[in-house]
Amino acid sequence: MRKVMILLIGILILSCNETKKEDSKPTTKSTELTTETENFDWLLGKWKRLNEEAGKETFENWEKINENEYSGIGFTMQNGDTIKQENIRLIKSNEKWNLIVKVPEETESTAFTGISHNKNEFTCQNNEIDFPNKIKYWKNGDKINATVSNTEFEIQFEFEKLD
């Protein structure tokens, strides 16, 4: 059940997907990076997954709590019933954006530490779990993409904004 929760969390988080690999080396322009990445307002709103399995619909809804926190809920429906759900928080702490995922079936949240971010994307990681141990979201034009992955497997998500 924990793997299902983590998978759902990864799906929600990885609403933004980018096809190019990002260099994870630290930048020497940390002040400039921080200035550029203070907001992820491109996440805001209601999103529907475009590449979902037939018979299922997955959604993510994001809102801004304050300058240092975004809150999201992701859920998958099948035949009018919610079959998966996760609560997601993107929180800035010590100049890093960290992702916290909580599914109703689990008593504790799973934390993913921010490893890179800029004004159009963020990547978080938790090497203490098997899957996913990396979650990435990115802005892709008027869509967002996400991936949940480990070293052996990756699931991609593509979301369009709902009116």
Show the domain range for 64.
2-18+39-119+127-161
Please indicate, yes or no, if residue 47 is contained in any of the structural domains.
yes
Asked if residue 24 is part of any domain, the answer here is no
Give the pLDDT score at 163: 78
Give the mean pLDDT of 94-113.
94
For residues 18 and 116, what is the distance between their CA atoms, to the nearest angstrom? 14
**Per-residue pLDDT at 42:** 96
Contact 16, 139 (CB under 8 A): yes
Q: What is the pLDDT of residues 105-154, one digit of tens each?
A: 999 999 999 999 999 999 999 999 999 999 999 999 999 999 999 999 99
Structural domain contains residue 30 = no
**60-91 pLDDT per residue, tens:** 999 999 999 999 999 999 999 999 999 999 99
CATH of the domain at 140: 2.40.128.20
Candidates 21, 61, 20, 35; CA nearest to 118 is 35
Q: How is residue 41 written in tokens?
A: 């307002």
Q: Does 26 reside within a domain? A: no
**Contact at 8 Å (CB) between 89 and 99?**
yes
Instruction: Please report whether residue 80 resides in a domain.
Output: yes
Predicted structure pTM score: 0.77
Closest CA to 70 of 96, 106, 44, 32: 44
CB distance 90 to 70 below 8 Å: yes
Task: Give the Cβ contact number of residue 140 at 10 Å.
Answer: 19
Question: Into how many domains does the chain fold?
Answer: 1
Show the beta-strand stretches assigned E in the chain: 45-49, 56-66, 69-78, 81-93, 96-102, 110-118, 121-125, 134-140, 143-149, 154-161
For residue 25, tell me if it sits in a domain. no
Query: Structure tokens of 46?
Result: 């209601």
Strands 81-93 and 96-102: antiparallel
